[in-house]
A and B are shown apart, each in its own frame.
Chain A
Amino acid sequence: MEAFARLHRTLEAERDDARIAAIGAYVRDAPPDDAALAVSLLKGQRPRRILPAAVMRDAAMRAAGIARWLFDACKTQVGDVAETVALVVPSASRTTLHGLAWWSERIASLATVDAGAAATRLVEDWDSLSTDARIVYAKLVSGTYRSPVSPALVDRALAPNFSVPVDPRPPFADASLRVDAVLVYAEPAAPKGFALGAFTFALWDERGGARTLTPIARIDDVAEHERSALEAIVRRTTVERFGPVRRVTPTLVCELAFEAVEASGRRKSGWRLRAPRVVRVRDDASVDDAATLADLGKYAR
């Protein structure tokens, strides 16, 4: 969340070359699910409103120990409720390392609790976020997040990250590495578009004792035949939407090909795939058959 907040602040302030570099760096370094969500937000997808601004304002007034007139005086100076909320609440006493995707799920769950519990959660969450991160958080809660850049600029920034280098000819293609992974997220190709553009896949993560699915790659290089199968399964199994990003019930296994795997301390999975693509849908495999992060590690040099 802090990384995305810093990116947002940079995009508000800097000129295009610095913006493009900042988006590229974020997408390269962020876990795939954070990157997927960030790209869709920056491309102009508007999050839905989770709580009325008044609930957030009242919670902020209580946390800051200020009356309504003083909040309003602050808002007059700031010009924006979310930013006012972020600024008046006392500085955080804790920090967290959770990313944008984790926070967006947590924010979405605010809609499922009553107003009193939501207010308590807001104050608790603010206490672990920087001012810039609180601004993004508050704008996601109130559905007022707006991208500071044009979709075209985001596309320019992503081009070097996601363009696949000239495909090796068949004798070399067989040399690429393969892994079976589970589809967990999907998002549209273009802002407000209906066709799905990118898909996020996960592997089993057994590091913590439990067996959970951790995203490993966000892929937009999908052949037409596989794409229609993916789109069909996404339509049937979407369980939650965050803006354009759909979270699906993990049911579909795909075989991914990639050129190499590199250790990445900044990603939750600990790995980054180079030039990943979807080779085929594994109708024959169940989710339990998908690979683990440990399997992937064997491919690392």
Chain B
Amino acid sequence: MAVNLIELSPAGLYCPPGRFHIDPWRPVACAVITHAHADHARAGSERYLACDDAAQVLRVRLPGAAIDTLPYGAPMLRDGVRVSLHPAGHVLGAAQVRIEYRGEVWVASGDYKRDADPTCAPFEPLRAHAFVTESTFGLPIFRWRAPAEVVDDIAGWWRANAAAGRTSMLFCYAFGKAQRIAAMLARARALNVGPLAAHGAMSALNDAYRASGVDLPPIVHATALAAADVPRALVLAPPSAAGSPWMRRFGDFASGFASGWMQTRAGRRRRGIERGFALSDHVDWPGLLATIADTGASRVLVTHGESSAVVRWLREHGHDAAALATEFAAEGEPEAMPTAGAA
């Protein structure tokens, strides 16, 4: 094999011939950002390059940063290295980074999923000699149900709570998951149950989605809900809001949590939440294996979460695989989880 197009440096994933980092965890000169989740888009670098779909959200997350953008698929040349960004299907603007240099192609997946999501472009399978993949849910226990079915469950839960006069408090990540749920509830025609509301921390992100052309249903500021509407409302709240004084206004609410970690009973128990909905923005086990096969890559480098299990499985199945010790959040996103007794 020729040179490594991606390797691990102290600041993060680094492309030596192109002299740029991908999602660095320390400030660098040039940072290519796969998406705007906090563990992938960190402040302090001199210049950023991201997908144009990500720009609105990235400016919310990194105020004042110098951000260059590229549309999906458009190449940029840098020291003889051809860099392009391709849909990862993870959240709005999420990109895989394709790096081509002297006939060699490497792809860094960033975070990705293969399931449908009305708020972002679908994952684009790419061919590569080497593939750097995430492995947040890299165990065979993680096989997602069809997202529409999970959203139907959320709608049913909302309907039952509304009938019992109890606010539905749905914890979910503020960026990506909240907007996906809002858009999917609208598509499932579930919004006749009551008003859809969100914690204030989500407003700027919802606005950024709309400014990026994503069709979101009306979302009320949770603090602006009329008293009579509170018991029928579904409130999207970041996990960090659990147990905060903000919650008190909703009285005896029902709590739910939408995350891939809700797949297991242990995951549901750990969060001390009444209802868990296994809805993830990360690839599941079958999707991970299928994606690796789709790339045709002879070399697979594994980041995040369950890298050791994925690496061992790949090696046992004839792949050249290794783990990369990245500092991306192993739990998907770095936000605090709600804790038992929070509700």
Contact = CB atoms under 8 A, between A and B. Distances in A.
Interface of A: 12-15, 17-18, 64, 66-67, 69-70, 73-74, 77-80, 83-84, 87-88, 90-91, 131
Given A78-B264, A80-B266, 5 more contacts: A12-B265, A73-B309, A79-B264, A88-B141, A131-B145
A240 to B, nearest CB: 31
Interface in B96-136: none
Interface of B: 139-143, 145, 160, 164, 263-266, 268, 274-276, 286, 306, 309, 312-313, 316
A79 B270 CA distance: 12
Contacts of B276: 13
Given A69-B312, A87-B263, A13 B140 contact: no
Q: Is the interface of B mostly helix, strand, loop or mixed?
A: mixed
A64 B306 CA distance: 18
A14 B274 contact: yes
Nearest to A75: B141
Contact of B141 (A12, A17, A77): A77
28 contacts: A13-B268, A13-B274, A13-B275, A14-B274, A17-B164, A18-B160, A18-B164, A64-B140, A66-B140, A66-B313, A70-B139, A70-B313, A73-B306, A74-B141, A77-B139, A77-B264, A77-B266, A78-B264, A78-B266, A80-B266, A87-B140, A87-B141, A87-B263, A87-B264, A88-B140, A90-B143, A90-B286, A131-B145
A255 B266 CA distance: 49
Contacts of B142: 87
A78 B141 contact: yes
Counting chain B CB atoms within 10 Å of each CB, the highest count among A67, A74, A80, A131 belongs to A74
A73 B285 CA distance: 14
Contact of B139 (A18, A73, A80): A73
Given A13-B275, A14-B274, A15-B274, A83 B265 contact: yes
Nearest to B313: A70
Q: What 9 A-B pairs have minimum CB-CB distances, sorted nearest first? A: A87-B141, A88-B140, A74-B141, A79-B266, A73-B309, A78-B264, A74-B139, A13-B275, A13-B274
Given A13-B274, A69-B312, A73-B309, A84 B141 contact: yes
B141 A67 contact: no
A88 B141 CA distance: 5
Contacts of B266: 77-80
Contact of A83 (B139, B264, B306, B316): B264
A200 to B, nearest CB: 30
Q: Is the interface of A mostly helix, strand, loop or mixed?
A: helix
B265 A80 contact: yes
Given A13-B276, A88-B141, A70 B309 contact: yes
A91 to B, nearest CB: 6
A15 B312 CA distance: 42
B274 A70 contact: no
A120 to B, nearest CB: 21
A300 to B, nearest CB: 31
Nearest to A66: B140
B191 to A, nearest CB: 23
B59 to A, nearest CB: 37
Contacts of A64: 140
Nearest to A64: B140
B97 to A, nearest CB: 29
A216 B2 CA distance: 75
Contacts of B309: 70, 73
Nearest to B144: A91
Nearest to A130: B145
Contacts of B306: 73
Contacts of A13: 268, 274-276
A70 B140 contact: yes
B279 to A, nearest CB: 15
Contacts of A73: 139, 306, 309
B149 to A, nearest CB: 10
Contacts of B313: 66, 70
Given A13-B275, A15-B274, A73-B309, A87 B268 contact: no
Contacts of B274: 13-15
A131 B140 CA distance: 13
A69 B311 CA distance: 13
B140 A67 contact: no
Contacts of A131: 145
B130 to A, nearest CB: 24
Contacts of B140: 64, 66, 70, 74, 87-88
A86 to B, nearest CB: 9
A14 B263 CA distance: 17
B265 A67 contact: no
A17 B266 CA distance: 23
